[in-house]
Amino acid sequence: MTEKTDMPKTEEEWRSKLNPKQYHILREAGTEAPFTGDLLNMKAEGSYKCAGCGTELFTSESKYESGSGWPSFYEALDPEKIEEIEDRSHGMVRTEVRCATCGGHLGHLFPDGPQPTGMRYCINSAALEFEEQS
């Protein structure tokens, strides 16, 4: 995991950097309610960065409408920037997706996406920041 020098080190520092919703999702592995995220219907071209550390994770080119209620992407910009962890919570087996730089919880990965990958990165809006392409 690459560590950025200005990244918070303690939970108190994370709480001061993130708003309560971002903290709950990124640091406590929470989930926003479906169809409520600010980036769900984003159609502009640009990149999606981790709200915790600013690492660029996804682009608008791989974003698609999955109908799931969360922003969905069929591939990560760089697989090395995403950490996949087996998640056995809620009585099921899923793949949790975390930012490899700061360890922030982003969402989950499912094998029901469109081609060319067949994957669906189902990501919480509050875990991301959008930077429009200029």
Q: So which residues are the catalytic ones?
A: 122
Round to whole Å and give the CA distance between 64 and 53. 24
Three-class SS state of 128: strand
Number of H helices, E strands in the chain: 2, 9
Say which residue the tokens 């981790």 belong to. Answer: 50
C-beta separation of 109 from 120 below 8 A: yes
Other C-beta atoms within 10 Å of 78: how many? 12
Nearest CA among 1, 17, 8, 73 for reference residue 40:
73
